[in-house]
Amino acid sequence: MRIALSCRGIPQYGIQLADALSRRGHSVLAIYSDRELRELLQIAPSYLERGRFSSAITRESGTGVVGQLLSASFLLAKILCRRCELLHLTAVPSSLFLHMLAGAAWKLGMPIVCTLHDPEFHPGDIKHYKHFRRITRTLAMAEKIIVHGPSLARRAAEVWSLPRELFAVVPHGNYDIYCENAPVLSHDEQQQPLILFFGRMKKYKGLPVLLDAARIIARQFPAARIVLAGTGDDLERNLETCRSIPNVEVRNRYIPWSEGAALFAESALVVLPYTEASQSGPLAIAQSFGKAIVASSVGAIPEALEDEKDGLLVNPGDPHELAAALLWLLRNQDERIRLGAAARFKACNRCWNGSIVRETVSVYESVLNHGRRPRADEAKAQMQRMQAYYESHVVVSEHQYYRE
């Protein structure tokens, strides 16, 4: 099978899928930007050095509309010259470049598969709302949309007004790519009482809940450190509170992966105090590192993490329950090690070269053998229904978010 695989948006996800497909004998053209190439060379250069798949590098930005149109045209010509049978967008595009590429490929009759990591926008993600029309048009052209859990498929079908059979469930693969160049620490170094909260600091991530829990932890376990690593508007709003809690360390900046890998390797626990979520990248990374995890029971997180088997689930928005779970694991090293080992075992079972690539290829085969390409009038009707959802729900939610 010949596949054009756009890795733009989440290159660390796409590049692992490209490698796994190539190992199975498929011909893959992996597409990513120049900035993403630099990031991949920092995280895991061996994926690119092995040369199992071909690469197409595009400019990240600064080329203007005409430049992006020309880049999309050149890339489409390369896809056609390689006789690719389908285009898989591993992240639904909001960029003009990918929107142009998908639209041109669709008009030429090429089947399109999309991966939708989040079935709906997170509160406060206003930058994505500006690109809503591009996203709706792309989804309307797709013959299959991959999501990472049954609950996400049901929710996506509801909020996007699309038929349930359009969605295919393929679990999120592990993020072992992040472990490739991580520092190797001794057992004692890995059991220091460090709690890591990593990623975008947006309102739905539950930072105020964690800070309330941190006050309790500071009184009962003064040796514990809570590291907040990442940037976001919610961290900016709570900086003074963070500084007032003695055991909280703030790294309010972009975290290069060498530093991020060291933080995951060093941490005893990873915490996800989300108040709303679909799935979680930091959760998958923590499982690949074999870390005990405490997470809120929201969205599809309970489908990825089983309570008391490979982590602990707590009710969202409850700092006392969150603090109790973190304190219990800080005081019980054996249980912490057991949960971390189970998390690592689960990550190994979500190996890209196993069930993930088999299920993805099954989606491709269903599209190529039994797919039904949406007609132009059907795609337009789908897009109008999705935009009606935007007007009635997304805009209202956004205004409510900023009033709060």
Coil, strand or helix: which one is 20? helix
Burial class (CB in 10 A: 0-12, 13-18, 19+), 344: buried
Domains in the chain: ranges and CATH: 2-173+352-403 (3.40.50.2000), 176-349 (3.40.50.2000)
Predicted confidence (pLDDT) per residue in 291-313, tens digit? 999 999 988 889 889 999 999 99
Using DSSP's 3-state secondary structure scheme, residue 32 falls into strand
* Rounded-to-integer distance, Cα 378 and Cα 103, Å: 15
For 49-114, the DSSP string reads: HT--SEEEEE--S-SHHHHHHHHHHHHHHHHHHTT-SEEEESS---SHHHHHHHHHHHHTT--EEE
Reading the block at residue 401, the tokens are 């978010």
pLDDT in tens, 57-97: 877 555 677 777 888 888 899 999 999 999 999 987 667 78
Q: Is residue 164 within 8 Å of 147, Cβ to Cβ? A: no
Residue among 120, 170, 106, 112 at smallest CA distance from 299: 120
Task: From first to last of the 404 residues of the chain, give the pLDDT tens digit.
Answer: 999 999 988 888 999 999 999 999 999 999 988 888 888 887 778 887 777 788 888 775 556 777 778 888 888 999 999 999 999 999 876 677 888 888 899 889 899 999 998 887 776 555 555 567 777 788 888 899 999 888 889 888 887 778 899 999 998 888 888 887 776 666 555 567 999 999 888 888 999 999 999 999 999 999 999 999 999 888 888 999 999 999 999 999 988 888 888 899 999 999 999 988 777 889 999 999 999 999 999 888 898 899 999 999 999 999 999 999 999 999 999 999 999 999 999 888 877 878 899 999 999 999 998 765 555 566 566 666 666 666 665 544 544 544 44
Classified as helix, coil or strand, 271 is strand
